[in-house]
Chains A and B, each alone.
Chain A
Amino acid sequence: MTRTPRLVALLAGVGLLLLALPVVALMVRAPWSRLGSLLSSGPSLEALRLSLVTATAAALLSAVIGVPLAWVMARSRVRFAALLRAVVTLPLVLPPVVGGVALLLTFGRTGVVGRPLYELTGHALPYSTAGVIVAEAFVAMPFLVIAVDGALRQSDARHEEVLATLGVPPGRVFTRVTLPLVRSGIGAGLTLAWARALGEFGATVTFAGSFPGRTRTLPLEVYRQLELDPDAATALAMLLLGVAVVVLVALRGRWTQR
């Protein structure tokens, strides 16, 4: 092993501090004694419940449409796959608030899809719980698609081909062979997508606003409480931190040991 150059060690230390210090500060300043009562207050519980429901729904929605998307991506020809991959990755690098604006222009009452949808059904997505789920899925689905795409590309496509030549129809091959082979990839993707959806702020507040019980999720409640009651905000932040740690453990080193 070579010796680490001094400047590299110094910069690495600064980098580590930047990432770790805020987490430490959060834990130091957390109102530990009042944590229970702060978290069990009406608005907190309401936001927590809404967050769990929407994040879970967004993760499941992402799986239902994201796994087939990942399959098409992994099994199509190189150039088409590259194009698909670019489209799927865009929401990852797009500022969430831009995503929210884009969603408004699409699904808003005067939006490209929203207007006919509203005229047809009398319902519009923005400022509704369903809107929160769509905003969260928009931001979270790329995580799932990329995880499943990776698992599919590592799995052997010849496995599917061989069964096809033995007369097994494509639908059966997909459910009996492909899905079981990438089960762990889907699990990791679901976890990541759920965690991302749970923490979603920008797209949600832009597209769905902040209505208590309807669209005000935990991150929105943290932001609101920061001005009203910083201790409550810190307590909620601790809760989200705890969830993040649990997700890290659930993924069992999938991301930390590679």
Chain B
Amino acid sequence: MSLVVDVRLGRGDLELEVSLAGLTGVTAVVGPNGAGKSTLLRAIAGLEPGAAVSLDGVDRSSLPPHRRRIGLLPADSLLRPTATAAGEVAIAARASGGAARRAAATAALAALGSAELGPRRCAGLSSGEAARVALARALVAEPKALLLDEPLARLDAAARPTVRAALRAALASYSPPVLLVTHDVVDVAALAARVVVLESGRVVQDCSPAELTERPRSAWAAQFAGLELLRGEADGLAVALEGGGVLAVSTAARGAVLVAVRASSIVVSAARPEGSARNAWQARVTGVETLGGDRVRVALAGPPAVAADVTVAAVTELRLDVGAAVWASVKATDLEVYPA
């Protein structure tokens, strides 16, 4: 099955203009807060006006949400607290007749490895259990396309792996097109075959997950992939950066280029580093932020301005506080260069 959407709508500050064709399998939708990701899904589901939607060439734009058969699964599970898990799933079952509905609900829960949740009241479920019930409720409706709006975002850290595994297994055996809004680069890598970057209501990149993590086309996408994006003018193996400074790269290019830098490949030292083929420049520390574990992210004003991931030990040894003067360096082979 193939989904084609063409959304054009304005809501408050948001001007959404998104055209996506040939959506099959799982497509991740990523982007900063307020980019219009949730609004895009709501429009496709028919909850907002302004979306042209067709499935396998059949136009569904004029159908109300309950006839469109494009299921939405939001971050909040939104279960009726007084219903049992099986009863909550049964409400969306397509079968007619109470017994058939209940049987379909039980099967849907069992398919997610959650058959034991059936008789439990929704009010007593943990966030992870509720998420699995909500997923079963969405799947039992047999939607012709499924829209997942950050299905893992509201879960506690302990529940996330189990729900991600359940989601992954469910999507693997699910043929209709899926749009998955997420803030997690791991979700993109684990679940999606295609990724769409949405910023300020526009698609800025539409590619494979691998390409996104290697060659992001916007500053936000680069950050999402754990990269820093620099713009410049290439002349062979040297790139003159927009913000000042020149970087040596390992692949020759010409004209306007983007240079993707991984924060973990930036080396911070007290003195000019030894060795050849290295880009080295003097920098000043403008910010220090703990990433958790042993890692600390240090923001450096260049030029070029980059972020470097260092260890806590390095922070102590180099006295990396705001204002400190250091040297930053990066290997030419660690820089990804591609046309802007």
Contacts and interface: CB of A to CB of B under 8 A. Distances in A.
Interface of A: 156, 158-159, 161-170, 172-173, 176-177, 180-181
B86 interface: no
Interface of B: 42, 45-47, 64-74, 76, 78, 80, 82-83, 91-92, 94, 137-138, 141, 143, 147
B80 A165 contact: no
A70 to B, nearest CB: 19
A176 B91 contact: yes
A177 B45 CA distance: 19
A176 B71 CA distance: 19
Contacts of B137: 166
B78 A158 contact: yes
Contacts of B147: 165
A165 B78 contact: no
A163 B73 contact: no
Contacts of A170: 66
A165 B82 contact: no
A161 B82 contact: no
B73 A162 contact: yes
A225 B94 CA distance: 63
B80 A161 contact: no
Given A164-B47, A166-B143, A172-B91, 19 more contacts: A158-B74, A161-B47, A162-B78, A164-B64, A165-B46, A165-B71, A165-B72, A165-B143, A166-B71, A167-B69, A167-B71, A167-B92, A167-B141, A168-B66, A168-B91, A169-B66, A176-B80, A176-B91, A180-B80
B70 to A, nearest CB: 6
A167 B143 contact: yes
Contacts of A156: 76, 78
B76 A164 contact: no
Given A172-B91, A176-B91, A164 B66 contact: yes
A165 B68 contact: yes
29 contacts: A158-B78, A159-B78, A162-B72, A162-B73, A162-B74, A162-B78, A163-B91, A164-B47, A164-B64, A165-B45, A165-B47, A165-B71, A165-B72, A165-B143, A165-B147, A166-B71, A166-B72, A166-B92, A166-B137, A166-B141, A167-B67, A167-B143, A170-B66, A176-B80, A176-B91, A177-B80, A177-B91, A180-B80, A180-B82
